[in-house]
Every structure is written in C-alpha cells, then in structure tokens.
Amino acid sequence: MKASWIKIPLLVSVLVAWSSNFSAYARSNANASIAQEKLCAANKVTQTNEIAARLAPIKSIKDLNAYIARTPAADSPLDYLSPEAKNRFISSLQFNGKGITSFSYADLEAELTPSQIYKLLSLFGMQRTVPFMKGARVVDDTDKMIMAVPMGDPCGGGRGTGQSSKRS
C-alpha cells in the first residue's frame, strides 16, 4: 500500500513538469509563429515598395525634367503645389541609381491633402511615406484611409521605412 502513495506524488510531479514544459513549448511555438508572420509582412512590404519604385515614372532628375516638359500643368500632381513650394520640393529631391533617396515634405504637408500627396509621390514610388506626414490636411474618407495605413511598417508602429526628410 505504501508503494501506491509514493507513485501518486511521483505521477503528479511528472504531470506538472510535463505541463510546464508543454506550456513553454507552446509559448515558444506561438512566438515563432508571430515572428514568422511579422517577417512575412515585412517581406510583403519590401516587395510592394520595390514594385512602387520600379514602376515610378520618375527615377532621376533627367526623368523629372522629361516629365515636366511633356506633361501639361493641369495634368501633373506637381502642380497641386504653389509655384514656390513646387520649386522648393523639386530642389530638395535627391536621386541615386535606383531612384529617389531624399526629399523635403514640409511643403507637401503644408499645402496638400493626403490624396494629393499620394498622387504626387507615386511619381517617384514614394507613396508609402504619406501616412507619416501628420501635418497634411485630411478632407475625406480616402485621406483618412491613407493616413490610417502605416504603409512602410508591417507592425503598425514607428516611422516606417520611408526615407524622406523634413526640411524647412
């Protein structure tokens, strides 16, 4: 009879140890799954950004000059800006072999709605940066949608992966 009493505490100890090991294993798998989902989301964002950059009509100052020469002002998102702001924005643009690397968005925020900024920055493949321009004037549901989506950040926080800079 004594042997039975020894087996029960031993069995309980084994079950408790197994249960805590299983819980740790389950937590580890859940964390791995979350990490995998974040990596997948980050890869999708990277791919989306790469597609936007490749399809952008303006990848260099030469492309910009050609675009301005052939596009009527009434059809160009650049002309949403006042003439002075347009000149400042164009002067702030910096490019490398892959496209735009830097720009000032102070005038974009000051003068345009998120929808207008999105259209303008789509010329350069940089539309993902619009949600981080918190000073833009939101006037409709489309603007709200654009500003609610952290397009460069798969986790929904922070400043994303945009490369823009705010200069005065």
For position 42, what pLDDT does the model report? Answer: 73
Q: Is residue 165 part of a domain?
A: no
In a domain, 93, yes or no: yes
Query: What's residue 7's pLDDT?
Result: 60
133 inside domain: yes
Residue 101 inside a domain? The answer is yes
Residue 72 falls within a domain, yes or no? yes
**CA proximity to 161, closest of 131, 120, 119, 138:** 131
Q: Is residue 113 part of a domain?
A: yes
Given a cut of 80, whether residue 135 has pLDDT beyond it is yes
For 126-148, b/e burial (b = at least 16 CB within 10 A) is bbbbbbbbeebebeeeebeebbe
Radius of gyration of the chain, Cα coordinates, nearest whole angstrom:
26
What is the count of structural domains for the chain?
1
* pLDDT tens-digit map of 74-130: 999 999 999 999 999 999 999 999 999 999 999 999 999 999 999 999 999 999 999
Helix-, strand-, coil-residue percentages of the chain, each rounded to 5: 65, 5, 30
Q: For residue 6, is pLDDT > 70?
A: no
Q: Which domain holds residue 71?
A: 56-148
Q: Report the predicted TM-score, pTM, of the whole model to 2 decimal places.
A: 0.69
What pLDDT, on a 0 to 100 scale, did the predictor assign at position 21? Answer: 66
User: What is the tens place of the pLDDT at every residue in 48-82?
Assistant: 888 988 999 999 999 999 999 999 999 999 999 99
| In a domain? residue 83 | yes
